[in-house]
Structure 1
């Protein structure tokens, strides 16, 4: 009785596997022991097993995400950076996301009459938050100013040497994200609302304190931070 005879499968892929096995059997050298070879990432084979390369071959390369440059950078405040990372990944519990969990929850914007709160609306399609963002960085960004979420992420994630203005925009962006989210949650829990004028002043103090700390610590390339910040700030 023939052993390991070729079988017919309903799945075409399995039939192809059977065919390949048969072809390899016909080409094998009789009397020679089989060897175990491990595929490497450059499509070569080795008798040495490496768990790292095997993992990469099985799972494929991880996708790149360029926005990390504008979120995780030197002298950033970890709390602000983490909140911005959640927003960039669309992990914040906005009205749009809460609707998927509970259809009875209020999903409207806490700052305006928008019926559905999305990340893009909160940052900065909403007039309340847009006025805050423009007052903080409108003068600093000049002709590059934008309030569109995707455009902002692209601008702060530029691959290159960070200068003072880019650092301030990045830091102000993160401080604004964190402050708006806190104020949004305060309103949803029935606390007294804060006007956008007051919120601008609060964020302004955060940015000034950070720049002052860096200057006192002797970070030379950021010595002009305070001057640039005061020279470009706008009143709301």
Structure 2
């Protein structure tokens, strides 16, 4: 019988089988009852051991973390707003906050009021009412000003100013991979991210930043992302450079 301490890292399956039976260490059999149900494989001595994965369809495939994850994770129905949040050019930290907002998972005051009905809540920006996703993005006068200003950078005069209408607008947008559509989504996500961050900073750190500064942070953040992307030389690209004050020294288009 092989002791657990005697098993080496490079031990093969053959080292664990003898006379058509598993040679499990006694300690293993006592602690893991399920080992008695493991079928003894039919070994072919001329072949090397290899790891395989039997997927959820019962098909033997190459073992990889990706295959295991895709077979074991739960799948939900694809939501209409998926491409509004997750896309190749997105900024992950921004997309995550938007995803939380879309799922109703941000701890806004309207949710906290249900847990603490005796408390009085007010938006840290306008002080007019408790905040909520719809209020913060972008009904509140503070965030509304920011949103209307940054929309000017993305030819977004037709993008609505209310959360639910904005979501519907993006869902119905055609050609999501077009330059301006990508930049519009980047600006939207950056606006949500920085406004939410400023809201939390005021509540928990008592640090106040003017709306003009938040607007500049959004613009600068998106501009840096644009500079990291590759665009084909075209009229749209020229418009983008002009709107975002991008010169050739900063960004070389893909030929």
Q: TM-score scaled by structure 2?
A: 0.60
CA deviation after TM superposition for structure 1 residue 156, in Å = 2.2
Is the contact between residue 186 and residue 193 of structure 1 (CA under 8 Å) also seen in structure 2?
yes
User: Which moved further from structure 2: 65-74 or 157-166?
Assistant: 157-166
Give yes or no for the alignment of 1:166 onto 2:187: no
What displacement does 1:219 show?
Answer: 3.9
**1:220 counterpart (224, 232, 254):** 232
Verify: 1:81 aligned to 2:95, yes or no: yes
For residues 93-130 of structure 1, give each alpha carbon's deviation from its aligned partner in whole angstroms, at most 9, with x where no partner exists: 00001112223455211101222211100100001001
Q: In structure 2, what is the equivalent of residue 188 of structure 1?
A: 203
Matching residue within 110, 115, 127 for 2:141: 127
CA contact (8 A) 1:94 1:118 kept: yes
CA 1:155 to 1:141, structure 2 compared with 1: closer, same or farther past 3 Å?
A: farther
The offset of 1:230, in angstroms, is 4.2
Map Cα deviations across residues 29-76 of structure 1 (whole Å, 9 max, x no partner).
xxxxxxxxxxxxxxxxxxxxxx87xxxxxxxx9544211111101111
- Report the 3-state secondary structure (helix = DSSP H, G, I; strand = E; otherwise coil) of the residue aligned with 2:81: helix
Q: Rate the CA distance shift 1:173–1:210 in 2: closer, same or farther, 3 A.
A: same
State whether residues 111 and 126 of structure 1, in contact with CA within 8 Å, keep that contact through their aligned partners in structure 2.
Answer: yes
| Farther off after superposition, 111-120 or 62-71 | 62-71
Any idea what SS the aligned residue of 2:228 has? Answer: helix
* Over 6 Å off, 4+ runs: none
Partner of 1:202: 217
Provide the alpha-carbon RMSD of the alignment: 2.6
Matched, 1:153 2:167: yes
Unaligned runs of 5+ in 1: 1-50, 53-60, 232-236
Deviations 1:181-231 (A, max 9, x none): 1100011124221010011111111011011111xxx44378544334349
Q: Is 2:124 aligned against 1:110?
A: yes
Aligned residues: 171
2:110 aligned with 1:96, yes or no? yes
Please name the residue that 1:15 is paired with.
none
CA distance in 1, matches of 2:159, 2:245: 17
Aligned to 1:70: 84
**Paired residue secondary structure (2:93):** helix
Contact 1:71 1:81 in 2 (8 A): yes
- Taking structure 1 as the reference length, what is the TM-score of the superposition? 0.65
What's the counterpart of residue 12 of structure 1?
none
Per-residue deviation, 1:80: 0.6
1:189 is paired with a residue whose SS is helix
Alpha-carbon distance between aligned partners in 2 of 1:191 and 1:219, rounded to the nearest angstrom? 41
Which secondary structure state, in structure 1, belongs to the residue aligned with residue 124 of structure 2?
Answer: coil
Q: Is the 8 A contact 1:95 1:106 kept in 2?
A: no
